[in-house]
Chains A and B, each alone.
Chain A
C-alpha cells in the first residue's frame, strides 16, 4: 500500500476544492498515511466473486404519484444565499479574462 505524500495530499485538496495551508498539509499527510495503512488490510479480504454492496437494503424503481406538490418560493430558496440579485444566486466570476 503506497504511503500518501504531502504532494499527493496537496493535489487531492485541489480536487476537493479546499485550500490547505502548509501547516495543514504537514499535519494531515502523516495522519492520512496512518489511516490508509490501517484500512489497507481490506484488499485481501474479499475474493473476486463477492458482489459489491452499495445499499444494504436496495429498493429499485422508486416512484411517487405524479402530482404537483408545493415547492420553495424564490424568496425561500434564496433565503440562505450569500448574495442574490434579481431572484438569482449571485456568484463570483466563473471564467478567467482570457477565456
Chain B
C-alpha cells in the first residue's frame, strides 16, 4: 500500500491526475496522521483541526476532477494554515488568549486563493503568540514539539507549520516570516521554507506583527513544492497597498530547472559576518559541505562582506516592537476578542477594561515587546532608537545592493544552532533573539530568501539549514539554486533528510 502521507505535493499532483488516488483518500490519510501524532500531548502542531470541512472540500475536489473541471494543479492536495491568517468559519487565535474563540468573518487573500484553487484546509497551526518568538513556546496554548526530538523546540514563530510538514501530517503549509519565522523552523525541522520578496504575496488578512517586515510564504518538504505553492499564493492584490503590481514568472519552472543541478556561471557569495563565535560547529560543517557541493556543480564562490549585518538584530528589535506596539493597539476589548472587567471596580471605564483585558490576554513576550516599542517611539527617545534603527535599515539594504553587484546569490547557515531544548531560553529574551541573527537582514531589506536542509549536525544528529538570499523580485533564484542544492545533497545522502527522522509512532508508543 502506498504511504501517501510521505509523498511530496508534486508527486500527489501526478497521482491525482493519473487517478491513482483521490483527494478524499489523501485528506483522510493526513487527518489520520494528525490523530495519531498530534494533539496537546503529542507534537501539538495544530491548534484547530477541521476534519469535517477538509473532508467536504476533498469530496468536492474529487467531484470536480471526475467532471474534468479541476481548479488548479494543486486541486485536492491538503494544506495546513498558520493561525495568524484569517480563515472565515475557522478559529483564528494567533496563538493568543486575547483572540481565543475568534472566528473571522472574512478570508485572508492567501486563504481565499487556496479555497479557489481547491486545496482542502486541514486546520490551523500553532505559533508563538502574535508571531513573537523563535520556539513556538510563547503560544498561549502550549508549545509544539520538534518531530526529530520531542523535548526540543520546532523553531518559531511558525513551529506548528514546520512540525506539521516535517511529521507528514500535511504535505504543504502556509507560514509567515517577519524575522525568520518560516526559515528558522524550516532549518531546525529539516524542511524547506521561503520568505518571498516583500510585497510578492498579499498580507490582506494576515494579522500584522510588524507590517513593514511581514510576508506570507510556503512551508514544505521540497523546494519544488514551495515553488508550486508560491506560484499559487503570489501576485498582486488590490486589498494590500504594499502588494507589487508586476507579475512574477513561474517559480515551479525555476525549481525544475534548478533540479538539474547545473550551477555553472552562478556566482555565490558567502557572507563573512554570518559565522564565527556562537555558531555551532556542526551547523557550520554542513554549511561548508553544501557550499562545496555548489562548487562541484560549477558555481563560483567568493566571500562577501556585509559589514552592517552585525547591527541588524539591534535595528530589528527596535523596528519590530515599535510597529507591533502600534499594530496590537487594536486589541482594545471593544470590537472583537477578549473583554475582561477589572477586579474591584464598579462600573469600570473603557480604559480600565482595556488595561485589564490586555493584561489578562497578552503573554509575557507580547508585553515585553509592546512596552519596548512604546519606549522606542516615545518622545525624547524616538531619534535615538527608532530613527537610528531606520537608518541602519538603509545601510543593510545598501550592503545587500553592494553584494549583489558582485554575486547572483548570497548564502549563510539559516540559524546559528540546531534545535535547543524546550524551556532552555524561554525566560532569556536575548538568547532567544539570537536565533534570528541570519534571517533578519532579508526582512529588513525586503529581499527573498529560502532555507533548505543542509544535513544533520555531528554533535546532536539534528537538522541544520542553508539559507540562500537573492535580490528583490529575484525569488526565482532562491528556487533555482535551492533546488540544485537539494538535488546535490539528497543524492549524497541517498534519500531525503526526513527519511532519517525518528519513527514518531514508535517513539510516542501509538499504533501506526
Contacts and interface: CB of A to CB of B under 8 A. Distances in A.
B384 A43 contact: yes
Interface string B345-356: 001111111111
B490 to A, nearest CB: 33
A21 B362 CA distance: 13
A41 to B, nearest CB: 6
B138 to A, nearest CB: 14
A65 B335 CA distance: 29
B371 A32 contact: yes
Interface residues of A, number: 56
B471 to A, nearest CB: 11
Given A28-B368, A80-B335, A80-B337, A19 B355 contact: yes
Contact of B444 (A27, A56, A65, A72): A56
Contact of A45 (B238, B359, B395): B395
A36 B371 CA distance: 11
Given A52-B393, A56-B397, A92-B353, A16 B241 contact: no
Interface string A81-99: 1110000010111111000
A45 B336 contact: no
A48 B499 CA distance: 53
Given A19-B356, A28-B368, A56-B212, A12 B393 contact: no
B333 A82 contact: yes
Given A42-B314, A81-B335, A31 B105 contact: no
B308 A45 contact: yes
Nearest to A97: B347
Nearest to A37: B430
A83 B339 contact: yes
B429 A35 contact: yes
User: B104, B372, B429 — which one has the most chain A CB atoms within 10 A of its CB?
Assistant: B372
Nearest to B472: A57
Contact of A18 (B238, B359, B390): B359
User: A15, A35, A72 — which one has the most chain B CB atoms within 10 A of its CB?
Assistant: A35
Nearest to A80: B336
B362 A18 contact: yes
B385 interface: yes
A34 B430 contact: yes
B372 A82 contact: no
B394 A32 contact: no
A92 B349 contact: yes
B484 interface: no
Interface string B230-254: 0000000010011010000000000
B264 to A, nearest CB: 31
Contact of A43 (B332, B359, B388, B447): B388
Contact of B349 (A20, A54, A81, A96): A96
B448 to A, nearest CB: 11
Contacts of A92: 347-350, 352-353
Contacts of A53: 390-391, 393-394, 397
A32 B368 contact: yes
B394 A93 contact: no
Contacts of B364: 27
A76 to B, nearest CB: 4
A7 interface: no
Nearest to A55: B212
Contact of A35 (B315, B352, B397, B430): B430
A27 to B, nearest CB: 8
Contacts of B445: 56
Given A92-B349, A92-B353, A20 B367 contact: yes
A39 B385 contact: yes
B190 to A, nearest CB: 30
A42 B430 contact: no
B198 A17 contact: no
A28 B389 CA distance: 23
Interface in A1-24: 4, 8-9, 12-21, 24
Contacts of A18: 355, 358-359, 362, 367, 370-371
Contact of A42 (B102, B318, B354, B472): B318
A39 B350 CA distance: 35
A64 B339 CA distance: 36
Given A89-B334, A92-B350, A93-B347, A56 B393 contact: yes
A9 B374 CA distance: 10
B394 A16 contact: no
Contacts of B333: 82
A35 B390 contact: no
A50 B399 CA distance: 13
Given A46-B388, A56-B212, A57-B197, A12 B371 contact: yes
User: A13, A14, A16, A95 — which one has the most chain B CB atoms within 10 A of its CB?
Assistant: A16
Interface of A: 4, 8-9, 12-21, 24, 27-28, 31-32, 34-36, 38-43, 45-46, 50-57, 59, 62, 64-65, 72, 76-77, 79-83, 89, 91-96
7 A-B pairs closest in CB distance: A56-B446, A80-B336, A52-B390, A46-B391, A82-B339, A76-B105, A39-B314
23 contacts: A18-B358, A19-B358, A28-B371, A32-B372, A32-B375, A35-B372, A38-B313, A38-B430, A42-B311, A43-B388, A46-B391, A50-B391, A53-B390, A54-B390, A56-B198, A56-B446, A62-B241, A76-B106, A81-B334, A82-B339, A92-B349, A92-B350, A93-B347
Given A28-B368, A51-B391, A80-B104, 4 more contacts: A17-B354, A34-B429, A43-B388, A59-B241
